[in-house]
C-alpha cells in the first residue's frame, strides 16, 4: 500500500462513522480506484451506496448534506481526497446486468472489488443478484466481497429518522427530494 492509499484509507476511517446516522442506508462501500488499490495524488474516494427501496433520494440527501457539512464531499474543482457520492441504487435494483456491456469483465471485477463499510447483509444479496459475474472468475468462490472493513452499525439516530420518515410522510418527503434532485441534475446538464 503506497502513502497516498494509506492517506485515503485514513480519511475513510475518519469519516465513515457519519454513515451510521443515515436512515434507510443498507450498505456503503468503497469502490473504484481505492478499492482496486490503484490511486494517485489526485484520487478521490468513490462510495457505492445501497438504500432501502423507495428511499434512495432521502439517503442521497442525508449523505450529501453530512459529507458537505464536514467539507469532505467532492464537488466543483475540489476532488482530491474527497468523497465522490455518485453511485446510488436501492435494494430493488441490486442486479447490475442491465448496465453491463457485452462481456463486461470490468463490471464483474468492480462488483467483486467493492469494500463495504456499513452493511446490513445486503452485500450478500448483491453478490447473489449478480451471479452472472461469476463466469469471469476461475472459481465461483473467488467471486465474493471482502467484508473485513465492515465496522459501523446503524445508530439510534439513524433508526429514529427511519421511524420519523416512514409511511405517508416519508413518501411525501422522498417524492419532494426526488423532484428537487432531478431538477438540479437537469439544470446541470444544460450548462
pLDDT of 158 reads: 92
Cell of 177: 427530494
d(CA 9, CA 22): 21
Residue 32 predicted with pLDDT over 80: yes
Mean pLDDT over each residue of the chain, to the nearest integer: 92
Residue 191 predicted with pLDDT over 70: no
d(CA 75, CA 72): 9
CB 44 within 8 Å of CB 4: no
d(CA 161, CA 62): 11
CB 44 within 8 Å of CB 77: no
Q: Please choose, from the candidates 152, 146, 171, 125, the residue with its C-alpha nearest in 3D space to the C-alpha of residue 35.
A: 146
pLDDT of 134 reads: 87
pLDDT of 145 reads: 75
pLDDT of 153 reads: 77
Helix 167-190 vs helix 56-69: angle between axes, to the nearest 10 degrees? 70
pLDDT of 185 reads: 85
pTM above 0.85, yes or no: yes
* Residue in the structure block whose three cell numbers are 464531499: 73
**Any idea which of 28-32, 51-55, 76-80, 148-152 has the lowest mean pLDDT?**
148-152
> What pLDDT, in 10s, does the model give residues 133-186?
888 887 766 677 777 777 777 889 999 999 999 999 999 999 999 999 999 888
> What pLDDT, in 10s, does the model give residues 119-136?
998 998 999 999 898 888
Higher per-residue pLDDT: 12 or 151? 12
**Any idea which of 2-11, 36-45, 52-61, 136-145 has the lowest mean pLDDT?**
136-145
Q: Please choose, from the candidates 14, 9, 26, 12, the residue with its C-alpha nearest in 3D space to the C-alpha of residue 153.
A: 26
d(CA 75, CA 181): 15
Amino acid at each position: 500500500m503506497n502513502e497516498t492509499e494509506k492517506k485515503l484509507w485514513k480519511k475513510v476511517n475518519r469519516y465513515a462513522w457519519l454513515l451510521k446516522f443515515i436512515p434507510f442506508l443498507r450498505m456503503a462501500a468503497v469502490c473504484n480506484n481505492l478499492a482496486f488499490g490503484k490511486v494517485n495524488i489526485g484520487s478521490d474516494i468513490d462510495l457505492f451506496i445501497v438504500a432501502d427501496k423507495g428511499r434512495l433520494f432521502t439517503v442521497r440527501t442525508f449523505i450529501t448534506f453530512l459529507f458537505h457539512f464536514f467539507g469532505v464531499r467532492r464537488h466543483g474543482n475540489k476532488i482530491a481526497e474527497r468523497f465522490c457520492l455518485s453511485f446510488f441504487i436501492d435494494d430493488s435494483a441490486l442486479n447490475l446486468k442491465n448496465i453491463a456491456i457485452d462481456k463486461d469483465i470490468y463490471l464483474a471485477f468492480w462488483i467483486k472489488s467493492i469494500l463495504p463499510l456499513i452493511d446490513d447483509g445486503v452485500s450478500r444479496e448483491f453478490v447473489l443478484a449478480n451471479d452472472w459475474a461469476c463466469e469471469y472468475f476461475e472459481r465461483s468462490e473467488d467471486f465474493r466481497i471482502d467484508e473485513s472493513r465492515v465496522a459501523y452499525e446503524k445508530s439510534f439516530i439513524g433508526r429514529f429518522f427511519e421511524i420519523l420518515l416512514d409511511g405517508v410522510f416519508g413518501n411525501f418527503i422522498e417524492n419532494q427530494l426526488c423532484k428537487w434532485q432531478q431538477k438540479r441534475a437537469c439544470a446541470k446538464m444544460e450548462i
